[in-house]
Amino acid sequence: MGFLSLLNESLMRQSPKTALVRFVRNIWNTPPRHSINHKTRRYDGARRGRNYGGWMSTQNSANADIWTDLTTLRGRSRDLCRNNDYARGVIGKLVDNVVYQGIGFQAQVKQIKDPGKNDDRVNSLIETAWKSWAEEKMWCHTAGKLDFYSLQQLAFRSVLESGEVFIRKVKQSFSLSPIPFALEVIEADQCSEDHNQTYGGNQIVMGIEVDKWQRPVAYWFYKQHPGDLWQGRGGVVSRELERVPASEIIHLHFSDRPNQLRGLPILYSTLCRMKNVGDYEESEQLAAKLAACVMGIVTTPDADLLGEPGQDDGALPADEKFEPGVIRYQASGEKFDLLDPTRPNPNLVAFIEAQLRASGAGIGASYETISNDYSKSNYSSSRLSLITARDRYKVLQTWFVCNFNREVLLGNPESDGWLDLAVLSGVLNFPDYELRPKRYAAIKWQCRGWSWVDPHKEVQATLASLAGGMTSLTKFYAEQGEDFEESVKTIARERAFLEENGILVNFGSLQVQEEEDQSST
């Protein structure tokens, strides 16, 4: 833009002073060439206007947002898990794949003189004592109803369904247990989300007392479930709170944001979608049922033939029942129209598939996992889907082991675990335990593994990886949920037993024969 055009030649001739003032104003108000245009350059996700004006968002903290909707989300999630087949199924699949029959462990205490070798005697003592305690429900569960492996399943299911669960470590002997240690399962409702205040310089947020670093100091629980049937004095459930030190509590929940204190159900982002799918299926079933009941309608073009209300003129009354083969009479007439039912809706399956795929994306599960439908899968797609799902399961297994199993078995710097109480009670006699606690804390967790989609192809690929030095037998057995050392001992014991009984099986020749058969075909 030139000087003369800005200054406006005609105005310059008529009023030089006015033209100069206008020129200065234009220069002052013109932004630099490379300045940001705030009206056009912005994130699309922050757009406003007619299409996005109803998009409501907040800048609240995680706890403020959760407090508003926690009880509603928890209640709706439980309702879906009771009454929606897809929700109940996916929760069951996650429990089966993550916890399965229970996550165990193998002690890996090393010898003092030779740290490269396991101390088999010590490891055997730990594993035997643990097995006795874990498999006896009267010892490990305060209520005497669950063994440790069932308790694992319940704890993980509660996290998925309710968003969180509290496990209290009780240093007390139940039913003459030699180890004074048991676990109490506390449902999420018993931690009062409405208890928000200060206490002794700490802040209580939704029933959890935290210090200035947001570390839990104590938990405030109702002495009984607020929704229990049992009635106390006055015919109401007691609302009395009990303060329990954080050192006694294992609080299991997923955190999506920093400083999040309470957990949300895993279905929280897909609750409405799954509810709508269930309602839509129900409406389609009802529509199909009604369409199958009404066979046709008999009508008359002459409305005068209809009698007065309540008058018995011999005309056939309108049928008010719905059952197969019904012909609906409106009056005595001459024309019969056979209904052509449009149910079931041909778009029902495609609609439900799309909704379940979206739900799976929110939960972190595949469509096949939610729907149990493998009809549209081939080997490649099934394998890819299973690999993705199993990666998710492994992440959840690691989370559960670190936050629950390890806390129960080994405790933490501020709280004792099962192993500490087993040593203190004399069940395990380790004189150097206080001096070398980390030596005895060497544990290898045994989570479940999974079988292959195509065993022959997978085995051949594994053998090639072993031959090429790209994997190890330990990793191979771990992927199957087995322990390498125990498997080797079992194989050796089996082969020795076969030889003792005069049965000779050359497994190598079986593989060679199989390869020869394949090459001949």
Q: What is the pLDDT of residues 227-259, one digit of tens each?
A: 887 666 556 677 899 999 999 999 999 999 999
Cis peptide upstream of residue 344 (ω within 30 degrees of 0): yes
Query: What would the mean pLDDT of 516-521 be, rounded to a whole number?
Result: 49
What is the pLDDT at residue 326?
A: 59
Percent with pLDDT over 90 in the chain: 50
Q: What's the pTM? A: 0.79
Q: CA neighbours within 13 Å on the CB side: how many for 185?
A: 22
Query: What would the mean pLDDT of 403-408 be, rounded to a whole number?
Result: 97
What is the pLDDT at residue 41?
A: 53
**Burial category of 504 from C-beta neighbours within 10 Å (exposed 0-12, middle 13-18, buried 19 and up):** exposed
Q: Return the exposure string of 443-472: e unless at least 16 CB atoms fall within 10 Å of the residue's CB, then b.
A: bebbbbebeebeeeeeeeebeeeeeeeeee
When comparing pLDDT for 304 and 357, which is higher? 357
Give the range among 13-22, 90-99, 284-293, 511-520 with minimum mean pLDDT: 511-520
**Rounded Cα gap, residues 146 and 153, in angstroms:** 10
**Rounded Cα gap, residues 445 and 457, in angstroms:** 28
**Rounded Cα gap, residues 261 and 218, in angstroms:** 12
What is the pLDDT at residue 304?
A: 54
Query: What would the mean pLDDT of 12-20 be, rounded to a whole number?
Result: 68
What is the pLDDT at residue 288?
A: 81
pLDDT tier for residue 515 given thresholds of 50, 70 and 90:
very low
CB neighbour list of residue 170: distance below 8 Å, 6 or more residues apart: 142, 181, 182, 183, 184, 248
What is the pLDDT at residue 514?
A: 45
The gap from C-alpha 154 to its chain's centroid, in whole angstroms, comes to 13
pLDDT tier for residue 470 given thresholds of 50, 70 and 90:
confident
What is the pLDDT at residue 513?
A: 42
Give the range among 23-32, 50-59, 273-282, 393-402 with minimum mean pLDDT: 23-32
DSSP state of 194: T
Judged against a pLDDT cut of 80, whether residue 508 lies above it is answered with: no
Which tokens hold the place of 325? 């083969």
Give the range among 69-78, 87-96, 443-452 with minimum mean pLDDT: 443-452
When comparing pLDDT for 483 and 405, which is higher? 405
Judged against a pLDDT cut of 80, whether residue 29 lies above it is answered with: no
What is the pLDDT at residue 487?
A: 81
pLDDT tier for residue 50 given thresholds of 50, 70 and 90:
confident
Asked if 353 contacts 277 with a C-beta cutoff of 8 angstroms, the reply is no
Query: What would the mean pLDDT of 14-42 be, rounded to a whole number?
Result: 63
Can you tell me which residue has the tokens 């309602």?
A: 279
Q: How large is the greatest C-alpha to C-alpha distance in the chain, in angstroms?
A: 124
Judged against a pLDDT cut of 50, whether residue 510 lies above it is answered with: no
DSSP state of 502: T
When comparing pLDDT for 518 and 199, which is higher? 199
| H-helix segments, 106-191 | 120-134, 137-140, 148-162
pLDDT tier for residue 422 given thresholds of 50, 70 and 90:
very high
What is the pLDDT at residue 512?
A: 39
pLDDT tier for residue 75 given thresholds of 50, 70 and 90:
very high
When comparing pLDDT for 431 and 469, which is higher? 431
Where are the strands (E) in 395-465, listed by range?
443-446
**Rounded Cα gap, residues 394 and 400, in angstroms:** 10
pLDDT tier for residue 345 given thresholds of 50, 70 and 90:
confident
**Which tens digits make up the pLDDT trace of 165-182?**
999 999 999 999 999 999
Give the range among 225-239, 435-449, 458-472 with minimum mean pLDDT: 225-239
Query: What would the mean pLDDT of 313-335 be, rounded to a whole number?
Result: 56
Can you tell me which residue has the tokens 């939960």?
A: 363
What is the pLDDT at residue 381?
A: 78
Which tokens hold the place of 376? 């549209």
What is the pLDDT at residue 349?
A: 87
Which helix or strand (DSSP H or E) is residue 184 part of?
A: strand 182-187
Q: DSSP 3-state assignment of 35?
A: coil
pLDDT tier for residue 33 given thresholds of 50, 70 and 90:
low
When comparing pLDDT for 436 and 286, which is higher? 436
What is the pLDDT at residue 471?
A: 84
When comparing pLDDT for 165 and 39, which is higher? 165
